[in-house]
Amino acid sequence: MSKITKEQELLNEIEKLQKQLEIANNRVKTAKYGLVWMEVPEAFEQETENQMPVLEEVKEKAIKNDDGKPTHILIEGDNYHALTCLNYTHKEKIDLIYIDPPYNTGKDGFTYKDKRIIDKFPDGTIVPKDHPLRHSYWLSFMFKRLELAKGLLRDTGKIVVSIDDNELANLVLICSEVFGSLNQVAILPTIMNLKGNQDQFGFAGTHEYTVVFAKEISKCKFNEFELDDAEMEKWQEDEIGYFKKGAPMRATGEEDKREDRAEMFYPILIKEDEASTITKEEHSKIYNKENKTFDDDYLKTLIQKYENDDFEIVLPLSGDDYGRWRWGFSENNKKRLKTDVIISRTKNGISLYKKQRPELNELPSRKPKSLFYKPEYSSGNGTAQIKDILGSRAFKNPKPVDLIKDLISVTTSKTATILDFFAGSGTTLQACLELNNNDFNLQNIICTNDEGNICKEVTYPRCESVIKGYKNQKNQKIKPLGNSLKYYKTSFVGKNNILSASDEDKSSLAHKAGYLLAIAENTMDEIEATPFYQFFETAERVTAVYFKEEMDEMNIFLQKVEALQKPVSLYLFSWGNSSDFEGLFDHIPNLTIKTIPQPILEIYKNIYNIISA
C-alpha cells in the first residue's frame, strides 16, 4: 500500500470518528434522562465487514427424529450476524428471548474488538475491569444486539436477561432505551447461592438478577405456577404469616429426659388457647443449678397456683417420666410460645406442636414472586448438570436447567418460539426439550460463536447428548429427550456492503438465500438442490426456490412444482419486487409466490441504517 493511500485511510478514519463524536455530543445535549455512553465501534471480521450475511446448513450435524416434536435451530457465528439473518427469517415471530450475556466482570471472558486504528484499544482480548472504556464497550456491544432483537419479538413478546451487579444498572437503562421504560416488567433478585459467596468483598453474594421487559406491556401476559392443591392445604395463616404443623414441642429420641437438658424443662400454661409459661424466678426454683437437683414439691405447688388462676398446665412427659421441651427457657422463647405454638386438644389431653414457618420460597405460590428462588436454581446445579452430560466442567457458570424452565413457563405459552442468542453451553435448548416432554411444544433457536471451540466442544455435544440420550457419570443410561436439530453457520456473500450491493452481489445473495428462506418458512428439510433451484419440505408444506436469473431449468422446475401435493411457498429470482416468471404458476392451487433477493436486501438496509444512525 502506498504512503498516500495510508494517509488517506487515516484521514477517512479521523473523519468517521469526528462524525461519531458529533453524534455523541448531540445525544448528550438533547438527552433529558437516560443513558449516554461513548459509542465504541466494533470491528467485525475485516473480510466480512462489507458483505451480506446468510446462513448455510452444516448437514452432517443435523439430528432427525420422526417423533412429531419440533425442529430446533443452532446457529454458529457472531450473534450480530445471526440476528441480522433472523430479522429476515423471524421478524416479529419470536415469543420469548432469554439471554445470559457476558456480565463484564473483568474476568468472565467478555472481549471486544475495537474497530479504530489506535493500537492501545482491545483487539479481542478480555476487557479488564479497570479499563476506562469497560462499560462503553459493553454498552456498545449490547445496544446493537438488543436493537436487532427487538424487531424479532411479537407485540406480545418479552425479553428476559440474566445479569449481576456489574452491569445491572446499565442493562436496565439500555433496555429502557430500546424497549421503552414503560415496558419494564420486573427486576428479580434470583438466588443462585443461598450460602453466599464468601470471596466477595463486604457481603457474601447470594444472588444475581433477572431483568424482564415486554415488547408492549399492555399486550403481554404472564402465567402462574402449577401447584398441588393438597400441598397448599397444609398451610394455614395467622397474624404473622403462613405456617403448617411441625414437630411436637416435646423432644423425642435420645437425651429426651429432663435430666439431659434441665433448662428445657418447665410447665407451659394454656389459657384462652394461648400458650405462656412461668417466671424466671419460678423456673430457677424448680431446678437448682448448684446442686443440679429438681424440686418436685415446689413444682406441684406452682402448678396448683396456676390452676387456681384457671390455667391449664402441660408438662413434657417421656412415658411415665418427665421429659423436656425442644426449646430452652428464655425470654425469647416465652414470646415464641404465644406466636409459634399450635395447641391441639384430643381425648387424651393437650398436645403442643411447633408452627413450622416457611423458609425462603418454601411456601408454594401460584403467582411468581419478585424474589426468584428454588433450591434447584443453585449455580452448583448448573455445573453438575453439564458435568454429568459432558464428563467435565466444560463451561464456566452454566445456568441450571430448572431456572430456565421456570422462566419459560411463567413468561410464555406452551407453543412459543424462543430465542437465546448467547447460547453458551446450551441450557436453554435442554430446558425446552425437557418441557416438550411435559405437554409443551416449544421451538428453540440458539446462537453462539465458536471462540475457544465452545460450539464444537460444548454447545453442540450437549444438545446432541440430551436429544439422543447419553451415559452419565455413574454410567447410567439417560433416556433421549427426542426432538430434532438443524445446525447452521453464518456465511457471507457479495463484495460490497448492503447499501452498495451490485447486481453481482444481488445474484450471489439470491443463490445463497435458500436456507434463510427454508428457515423463514419452517420447512428446513432440503429434499433437492441443483445449481438453479432448491426444494425444502415438512410433512405439511413445501418451499420451492428458483434462484437464477436464467430460465434454463424453469420448465423442469415448473413440472416439479406442479407435481407437489402440498401447499407451496414459491420464491423466484427478481431484480425488483415482482418476477417475470409469476404468470407461469397461476394455475397451481395452494401456492404463494414471493421474490428474492430484494425483500432480504430491504430488511438488511433498514438494519444497517438503524445501527449506523
Report the DSSP pairing between strands 533-537 and 542-546. antiparallel
Q: What is residue 158's predicted lDDT score, i.e. its pLDDT?
A: 98
d(CA 49, CA 80): 12
Grid coordinates given for 380: 452448583
For residue 603, pLDDT over 70 is answered with yes
pLDDT digits (tens, 9 = 90+) for 214-225: 999 999 999 988
User: What architecture (CATH level 2) is domain 52-226+365-489?
Assistant: 3-Layer(aba) Sandwich (3.40)
Query: Is 83:604 a contact under the CB 8 Å cutoff?
Result: no
For the cut 80, the answer to whether the pLDDT of residue 46 exceeds it is no
What's the pLDDT at 234?
A: 79
Indicate whether 274 pLDDT > 70.
yes
Cα 396 to chain centroid distance, Å, stands at 16
How far, in Å, CA of 375 to CA of 362, rounded?
A: 9
The DSSP bridge partners found for residue 321 are 318
Q: What is the enclosing helix (H) or strand (E) of 350?
A: strand 349-356
Give the domain ranges of the chain.
Answer: 52-226+365-489, 236-356, 495-612
Question: What average pLDDT does range 57-81 have in this prediction?
Answer: 96
pLDDT(401) > 60: yes
Angle at the Cα of 493 from the Cα atoms of 492 and 496, rounded to 5 degrees: 110
- What integer is the mean pLDDT of 399-406? 96
Asked whether the predicted pLDDT for residue 422 surpasses 60, the reply is yes
Classify residue 223 as exposed, middle or buried by CB count within 10 Å of its CB (0-12, 13-18, 19+): middle
pLDDT at 548: 92
pLDDT for the residue numbered 31: 58
Confidence category of residue 96, pLDDT binned at 50, 70, 90: very high
pLDDT tens readout for residues 363-376: 667 788 888 888 89
Segment among 143-152, 314-323, 511-520, 530-539 with least mean pLDDT:
314-323
* CA–CA dist 506, 224 (Å, integer): 49
Residues contacting residue 577 through CB under 8 Å, at least 6 positions apart: 595, 598, 599
- Tell me how far apart the alpha carbons of residues 131 and 117 are, in angstroms, rounded to a whole number: 18
Strand 542-546: give its sheet, edge to edge. Answer: 525-529, 533-537, 542-546, 568-573, 591-596
For the chain, percent of residues with pLDDT exceeding 90: 67
Torsion angle of the four alpha carbons 15, 19, 22, 26, in this order, in degrees rounded to the nearest 10: 180
The whole-angstrom separation of Cα 75 and Cα 73 is 6
The residues facing 227 across adjacent strands are none
The DSSP output letter for 263 is G
Is residue 18 scored above 80 in pLDDT?
Answer: no
The three three-digit cell numbers of residue 431, written as one number: 430446558
The pLDDT score that the predictor gives to residue 448 is 96
Mean pLDDT of 286-296: 90
26 pLDDT band, cuts 50/70/90, is low
Round to whole Å and give the CA distance between 6 and 589. Answer: 60
Distance of alpha carbon 219 from alpha carbon 444, whole angstroms: 22
| Average confidence (pLDDT) over 131-138 | 89
The type of residue at 63 is I
What is the average pLDDT across 243-252? Answer: 92
**Which of 91, 61, 54, 98 lies closest to 421, judged by CA?**
98
- Mean pLDDT computed over every residue of the chain: 90
Residue 160, strand partner residues: 98, 212
Scan for cell 445471526, then name that residue.
82
Per the CB < 8 A criterion, the answer to whether 410 and 225 are in contact is yes
* 388 Cβ contact list (under 8 Å, min separation 6): 472, 473
Is the model's pLDDT at 114 over the cut of 90? no
Q: CA 515, CA 86: separation in Å to the nearest integer?
A: 11
At 314 the three-state DSSP class reads strand
Residue 271: band (very low, low, confident or very high) from pLDDT cuts 50, 70, 90: very high
Range picked from 27-31, 552-556, 609-613 for highest mean pLDDT: 552-556
Closest C-alpha to 450, from 49, 62, 76: 76
Q: Is the pLDDT of residue 394 over 50?
A: yes
pLDDT computed for residue 1 by the predictor: 43
**3-state class (DSSP) for residue 424:** coil
Compute the 3-state secondary structure of the chain and give helix, strand, coil in percent, each to the nearest 5.
35, 25, 40
pLDDT of residue 499: 81
Three cell numbers written together for 215:
415488547
CA of 522: how far to CAs of 391, 446, 568, in Å?
A: 34, 15, 12
Range of weakest confidence among 245-254, 459-468, 561-570: 245-254
Distance of CA 577 to the CA centre of its chain: 39
pLDDT at 15 over 90: no
| Beta-bridge mates of residue 323 | 257
pTM: 0.82
For 121, the 3-state DSSP assignment is: coil
When pLDDT is cut at 50, 70 and 90, the band that residue 228 belongs to is low
Closest CA to 594 of 503, 539, 518: 518
* Confidence (pLDDT) at 2: 47
Query: Poorest-confidence range of 30-34, 224-228, 302-306, 449-453?
Result: 30-34
Q: Quick check: 282 and 302 in contact, CB under 8 A?
A: yes
Rounded to whole angstroms, the Cα distance separating 487 from 465 reads: 15
Instruction: Return the minimum-mean-pLDDT range out of 18-27, 118-127, 183-192, 453-462.
Output: 18-27
Residue 47, pLDDT score: 58
pLDDT band at 613 (very low <50, low <70, confident <90, very high): low
Q: Taking the alpha carbons of 90, 92, 94, 99 in that order, is the dihedral positive or negative?
A: positive
Question: What pLDDT does 30 receive?
Answer: 60
Burial state string for 346-372 with b = 16 or more CB within 10 A and e = fewer than 16: eeeeeebbbbbeeeebebeeeebeeeb
